[in-house]
Amino acid sequence: MGETGLDYFYDHSPRDKQAEVFRRFLALSRSARRPFVCHVRDAHEDALTILRAEAASEVAAWCIAFGHLDHARGYLDLGLDLSFSES
């Protein structure tokens, strides 16, 4: 489906609007049975809450930005794969 997520680092869009669009994107991905890529900046707790509520575990997905280890575990618990990059 493409890349989706929340970005509280740059915060170019209102957070409630980001959450609304994120939820809609996840619902579309789930209904189409197509994987998505999750990219989150400084919004991991909210992203995990939305991913749980929107049954993201029913869709194959990759998380390409996951914060610290507790967030990584949260994404893994939902069945998302993690992507690592060298920095």
Rounded to the nearest angstrom, the gap between the alpha carbon of residue 82 and the centroid of all alpha carbons in its chain is 11
CA distance 29 to 10: 25
Q: In this predicted structure, what is the pLDDT of residue 85?
A: 74
Q: What is the pTM of this model?
A: 0.91
Q: In this predicted structure, what is the pLDDT of residue 87?
A: 60
Residues 68, 11, 58: CA angle, nearest 5 degrees: 55
Q: What are phi and psi of 68, to 5 degrees?
A: -95, 180
CA distance 64 to 82: 6
In the chain, the amino acid numbered 69 is L
The one-digit pLDDT tens for each residue of the chain (87 residues) are 889 999 999 989 999 999 999 999 999 999 999 999 999 999 999 999 999 999 998 999 999 877 788 999 999 999 999 988 766
